[in-house]
Amino acid sequence: MLEARNLRKSFGELVATDDITLEFGKDEGELVFIVGPNGAGKTTFINLLTGFLSPDEGSIVLDGDDITGMSANGRVDAGIARSFQVVKVFEEMTVRENLRTVVLTEQGKTWSLFSMADGHAEVETKVDELLAKFRLEDAADTLAEELPHGDRKLLDVAMSFGLDPDYLLLDEPTSGVSTREKEYVIETIVEVGRAEGVTTVTIEHDMDIVTEYADRVVALHQGTVHGVGPPTMLETDDELRRLLLGVGDDE
């Protein structure tokens, strides 16, 4: 279980994360969606969990161990992977090389100076599996920077899955993706996540997607937890609807 305990983070006057306590993965492999208006502190929260930022106060606990002071790469080893809102992949590598790099790292082979990067059979198998799962076979030998946006998002997520995480934190995996491709991206994530029992925490703005796929919804507002509940919360909680959509029932 991945827990945030009384996390607090401010940037100058702005309190981005204000005493957040949450837990993920009590049910292994659950799909949690984080919703909230712009500036609610969603990305900051993910940044704190993954070690991109360190909190001013509070702690992060993974399966009972305090990992608040652990380095970002240490947390990846411990099983927490993430993706970024703006795609961060290795642009001058092909799709296959991107995934190969990830799998080599995950299997602890990157200290090998004299083996062939493409000569580790178990790595190549894993890379092929990832290509198939994320339906990237046709683009395997395309440079990352030449991929269409939807595929870039998929590659980004595939790389995170390639790390064999127990927890996967995705920062708007569907942002900037066309409506048609959105379904495709999120379905792939859900499919692979479910199949591998990965607890997935996703920031998402599209409420249709959240309603359709979420096991649990966390709503953030002004750095605090507005509410945690089933996706039906989006229908029943009028204040939340007003926050998210700018509309209420009295409209």
Residue 14 Cβ, how far from other proteins at the closest point, in Å? Answer: 22
Residue 203 and residue 43 in contact, taking contact as beta carbons nearer than 8 Å: yes
Residue 97 as a binder of other proteins (CB under 8 A): the answer is yes
Rounded Cα distance, 192 and 83, in Å: 15
* Listed residue (125, 124, 129, 193) closest to 165, CA to CA: 193
Residue 138 as a binder of other proteins (CB under 8 A): the answer is no
Q: Which residues pair with 61 in a beta bridge?
A: 3, 66
Element (H, E) at 202: strand 199-203
Among 17, 43, 50, 188, binds other proteins (CB under 8 A): 50
Residue 76 Cβ, how far from other proteins at the closest point, in Å? Answer: 3
Residue 27 as a binder of other proteins (CB under 8 A): the answer is no
Q: Which is nearer to other proteins, 82 or 221 (CB)?
A: 82
Residue 35 and residue 207 in contact, taking contact as beta carbons nearer than 8 Å: yes
Q: Tokens in use for 128?
A: 């092929």
Residue 82 as a binder of other proteins (CB under 8 A): the answer is yes
Residue 117 Cβ, how far from other proteins at the closest point, in Å? Answer: 5
Residues of this chain that bind other proteins (CB under 8 A) = 50, 52, 71-73, 76-77, 81-82, 84, 88-94, 97, 100-102, 104-106, 109-117, 120, 141, 143, 145, 159, 163
